[in-house]
């Protein structure tokens, strides 16, 4: 086990590392995860308040400084600090909301049952597994008596699965030196992720009785060249990021019609555009406007415009993979028995808000990202434990031990 302490190459973290792991029971993170899975926090169905109360109570009992920030009614972020001795500060950030339960489960989505050393439940992977591993690591720090050089904090936020209201509010006033965003990465170190932009494009027509279609303008028919143009635009997107792949676009929702005997006067098209690091959101908005302008000039009868943009997690972001911070995290993960390899994410994540605030950030967590948002979402409890050790080693390596 070799640690590279921030700013030096000392290897004297072996002993405190061992002491901390001695206070981290192999089943601890899975016990906490089962508790978290049993507290429902499906985005747009349940608020996160009960999860926030659980976390705030847990860290308060450990003696951390706890702050609760209400982002909107019933939706609080929790920030808890283990105060260090003035060295570099690190936050472990993750989100408390999950996607809705959905259909197709063969086990109870809110039972937290363990079968063949896998824990099942909505959020087990995304991202309550990371939250549980973070809490287990913090508890082991406190119990071990090892004192860190810098502040280490837990920042648990609301609303990552929709508009990232929690991380947006948090990073306005909370700017640590380093952040590790707990998302399922199979313990790979994610340094880049794609972002998303979701315009709602509206095509207008004129309503009429459907027995006389020619008396109106059918907005669904008017939408056809718009849909075709968006399809061509998506097919022609190019660019390649070494870890995140290519940009993409897709029409994902179409809404029109008020009755089976009425010519529709309005057709709404939602376009889901995924941006790779390097693509600028403002320029992508302009690209989409240009697509619509081309349709209007080829088909003057089509009245089409971007009406609004749906909230998303945010734009893409990336972190220099050769930075000392990234290499330190990689080494800490390897020391914990994880892969620690560099990776990119095709989806979006709250890392973007920390990067925008100037915080050096990676995403790292236990759990297979392909199982996120699926029925029978589940996580390997041994990987969960390795995740907790990896987080503890990261904090020790980044914040250092107080002398």
Query: Where does this chain bind Zn ion (CB under 5 A)?
Result: 126-127, 183
* CB of residue 236 to Zn ion, shortest distance in Å: 30
* CB of residue 164 to Zn ion, shortest distance in Å: 10
* CB of residue 351 to Zn ion, shortest distance in Å: 11
Nearer to Zn ion, 150 or 166 (CB): 166
Nearer to Zn ion, 98 or 218 (CB): 98
Nearer to Zn ion, 64 or 127 (CB): 127
The 3-state secondary structure of 20-58 reads HHHCCCCCHHHHHHHHHHHCCCECCCCCCHHHHHHHHHH
Nearer to Zn ion, 2 or 44 (CB): 44
Question: From CA 343, how far away is CA 126, in angstroms rounded?
Answer: 17
Nearer to Zn ion, 5 or 127 (CB): 127
Nearer to Zn ion, 127 or 227 (CB): 127
* CB of residue 98 to Zn ion, shortest distance in Å: 8
Q: Please, how many CA atoms are within 13 Å of residue 95, restricted to the half-sphere of its CB?
A: 31
Residue showing tokens 């810098």: 150
Nearer to Zn ion, 263 or 363 (CB): 363
CA angle at 361 for the pair 356 and 363, rounded to the nearest 5° = 120
List residues bridging with 201 in a β-sheet: 269, 306
* CB of residue 95 to Zn ion, shortest distance in Å: 6
* CB of residue 284 to Zn ion, shortest distance in Å: 23
Residue showing tokens 């926090």: 41
* CB of residue 125 to Zn ion, shortest distance in Å: 8
């Amino acid at each position: 086990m070799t640690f590279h302490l921030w700013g030096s190459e000392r290897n004297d973290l072996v002993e405190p590392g061992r002491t901390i792991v001695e206070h981290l029971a192999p089943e601890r993170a899975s016990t906490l995860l089962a508790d978290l899975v049993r507290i429902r926090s499906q985005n747009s169905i349940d608020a996160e308040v009960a999860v926030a109360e659980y976390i705030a109570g847990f860290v308060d009992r450990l003696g951390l400084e706890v702050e609760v920030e209400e982002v909107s009614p019933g939706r609080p972020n929790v920030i808890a600090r283990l105060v260090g001795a003035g060295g570099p500060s690190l936050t472990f950030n993750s989100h408390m909301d999950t996607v809705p339960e959905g259909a197709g489960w063969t086990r109870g989505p809110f039972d937290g049952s363990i079968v063949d050393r896998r824990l099942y439940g909505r959020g087990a992977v995304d991202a309550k597994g990371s939250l549980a591993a973070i809490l287990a690591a913090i508890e082991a720090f406190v119990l071990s008596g090892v004192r860190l050089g810098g502040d280490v904090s837990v920042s648990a936020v609301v609303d990552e699965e929709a508009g990232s209201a929690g991380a947006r509010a948090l990073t306005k006033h909370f700017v640590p030196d380093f952040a590790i965003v707990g998302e399922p990465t199979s313990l790979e170190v994610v340094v880049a992720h794609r972002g998303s932009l979701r315009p709602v494009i509206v095509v207008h027509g004129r309503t009429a009785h459907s027995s006389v279609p020619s008396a109106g303008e059918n907005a669904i028919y008017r939408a056809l060249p718009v849909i075709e143009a968006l399809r061509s635009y998506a097919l022609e997107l190019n660019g390649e990021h070494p870890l995140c792949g290519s940009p993409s676009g897709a029409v994902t929702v179409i809404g029109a019609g008020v009755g089976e005997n009425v010519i529709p006067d309005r057709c709404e098209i939602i376009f889901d555009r995924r941006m790779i690091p390097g693509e600028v959101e403002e320029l992508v908005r302009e690209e989409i406007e240009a697509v619509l302008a081309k349709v209007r000039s080829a088909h003057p009868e089509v009245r089409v415009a971007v009406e609004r943009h749906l909230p998303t997690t945010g734009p893409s972001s990336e972190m220099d993979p050769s930075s000392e911070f990234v290499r330190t995290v990689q080494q800490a993960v390897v020391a914990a028995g994880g892969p620690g390899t560099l990776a990119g994410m095709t989806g979006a994540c709250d890392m973007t808000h920390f990067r925008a605030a100037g915080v050096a950030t990676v995403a790292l967590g236990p759990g297979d990202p392909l199982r996120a948002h699926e029925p029978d979402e589940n996580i390997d409890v041994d990987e969960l434990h390795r995740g907790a050790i990896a987080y503890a080693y990261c904090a020790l390596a980044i914040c250092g031990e107080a002398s």
